[in-house]
Amino acid sequence: MANKDNLIDGKAIAEQIHAETREEIERLARVGTRPGLVFVRVGDDPASQVYVGMKEKMCRRLGIHTETHALPASASEAELLSLIDRLNRDETFHGILVQAPLPKGIDASKVYSAIRPEKDVDGFHPINMGKLLLGDPSGFAPCTPAGIVELLVRSGIEIRGKEAVILGRGNIVGKPMAALLMQKAPRADATVTVCHSRTRNIAAHCRRADILIAAMGVARFVKADMVKEGAVVVDVGVNRVDDPQAQRGYRLVGDVDFEAVRPKAARITPNPGGVGPMTIAMLMKNTVRAAQALARR
């Protein structure tokens, strides 16, 4: 029988962080600084519109100044880079977020590298990635992996000395997640294995994990027989599966077969309601950190 108390409530933990962020925003207001976050979206991808809308809504709720620049799908890389250059020089905004995915013909790595590192609140600039690997806390860590660490720590889950297995080696979650967990630092010190599409016998690696983080983008990939009894399972995936009974004809599921895995897990994130709210919470927190750094100058 499933343990009814083993859910890691990402919404509740995100609210804790939002409350802390709001306090920092109020402190900044007393010294005449209002954090600003600008979004850039290229094309009409429906999911991107939804994601940006959610982030805008949270900015308004917390008191962060926000704007969105929407470029047509036909926009060139040069046009996008020109906009970023202008926003880099706009002191109204302490953070710049370019929403993925970008249309074909635009080099995402060139775009992320064009954002000033101190405004790169998404944490994808090579300088911020380098600082993460070096254990330099002055940079910005990507929001989803940073949010997962907060989920674990604030849920009272010990990371130090544990076997952590990450499914997926992407630049947004997998690689930075591994870097965060392996740091010689508080809230880290795990032994980390990263699995990917060329890993042999993934199930055997998963069964070793004290902490299993699924970020592959494969619907319900993690089955119950892949999970060790008493493991902590974090589901990052967002996958669309057909469902004729759903209003839109599909529904979103994670990378974990949740109902099957939950009875074996000591703790598990729901999906939705687990990692997603934390990503937004860390984005808001990074934006306030960027504003604080400017206020100290």
Return the amino acid letter for 222: V
Q: Is the dihedral of CA 283, 19, 151, 131 positive or negative?
A: positive
Residues 69, 25 contacting (CB under 8 angstroms): no
Catalytic residue among 55, 162, 175, 264: 55
- Is 55 known to be catalytic? yes
Catalytic residue among 119, 120, 122, 162: 122
- Is 247 known to be catalytic? no
Cα(88)–Cα(62) distance, integer angstroms: 23
Give me the DSSP letters along 221-240: -B-GGGS-TT-EEEE---EE
Cα(128)–Cα(118) distance, integer angstroms: 9
Residues 14, 281 contacting (CB under 8 angstroms): yes
Cα(264)–Cα(141) distance, integer angstroms: 31
- Is 122 known to be catalytic? yes
Which of the 8 DSSP states describes residue 103?
P
- Residue 6 backbone dihedrals phi, psi, to 5 degrees: -100, 10
Residues 193, 164 contacting (CB under 8 angstroms): yes
Catalytic residues: 55, 99, 122
